[in-house]
Amino acid sequence: MQKQQSFKGKTDLGTLFLVPTPIGNLEDMTIRCLNTLRSVDLIASEDTRNTQKLLNHFEITTPQRSLHEHNYQERIPQLTALLLEGRSIAQVSDAGMPSISDPGHELVIACIEAQIPVVSLPGPTAGLTALIASGLNPQPNLFYGFLPRKKSEQQKALTELLPQTATMIFYESPHRIGETVKNMAAIFGGERQGVICRELTKLHEEYLRGSLTELAAYLKETDLKGECCLMVAGNPDPEGWQVVTAVAEERTVKEQVEELIASGMKPNGAIKEIAQRLSKKKQEIYNEYHELN
């Protein structure tokens, strides 16, 4: 067991401050976050160029050092050494909370192991900010972040989430969200409710609410811009999901392909998808769907 008293007692060690930054609107920067960035000895930034724009806006002159997924192994020993010497460091990501779908967790672990105080400041986080305005049940909720990019891995992850009763929160690129929602409609069921929030806190903030089938159809015709937060209602019948899955497996190939087409997929894509699910050749599924056997 380890006990940390963040603001009591004297210590020769420095403190690692985890400082959230705006996810769009600069007015969301708190006074405490600004004062912390001004008072620390160093700022560890995911992207120093991006953070410098924020520092310039608020006339903050604290020096920076980069800390991201490509250099954290060499950078963490350097930063912990400074903290052990008594220097204070603020860690920031490009937007929102450090460590939440962003770099930072490894430095926190290293500091805890070295018994260096770690202090988290409250502030902007996209997932919960979007959730409370989504209209979906805000609690319980499950924050997932980014799903795997590879289709087969994404489908596997979504299948594992099928019995989840909590509202699920995902982050997704505008370039991939159409395929992601299409996969969700196929696995969760097209009637499941979902909400997409894009450009959160910015001038063009927008919420898209509807069933996964409706959202998939909309995204098929519309190219979204800006980072997206995708929220999906939990499974309303967790006890029956295995029965539903078993029944689904008993449906004909034609019925399974037609369901995917109804969710927004093109026929060839739906045939390929069912072929992968059933471990059959695409031509075989094509023949069954078109009743060519």
pLDDT digits (tens, 9 = 90+) for 138-190: 999 999 999 999 988 998 899 899 989 999 999 999 999 999 999 999 889 89
Token output for 208: 């898209």
The rounded distance, in Å, linking the Cα atoms of 200 and 229 is 8
The rounded distance, in Å, linking the Cα atoms of 69 and 188 is 32
Give residue 273's pLDDT: 80
Which residues, other chains included, contact 268 with Cβ-Cβ below 8 Å and sequence gap of 6+?
A: none
- Pairing relationship of beta strands 228-232 and 167-172 according to DSSP bridges: antiparallel
Please report how many Cα atoms fall inside a 13 Å half-sphere around the Cα of residue 12, on the Cβ side: 3
Q: Which residues of the chain have pLDDT under 50?
A: 243-244, 246-247
Give residue 151's pLDDT: 86
Contact 168, 140 (CB under 8 A): no
Give residue 213's pLDDT: 93
| All domains of the chain in start order, with CATH | 16-120 (3.40.1010.10), 126-232 (3.30.950.10), 251-289 (no CATH)
Give residue 249's pLDDT: 52
Token output for 94: 């490009």
Residue 49, Cβ neighbours under 10 Å: how many?
10
Query: What sign results for the dihedral spanned by CA atoms 212, 214, 219, 220?
Result: positive
168 beta partners: 142, 232
Type of residue found at 257: V
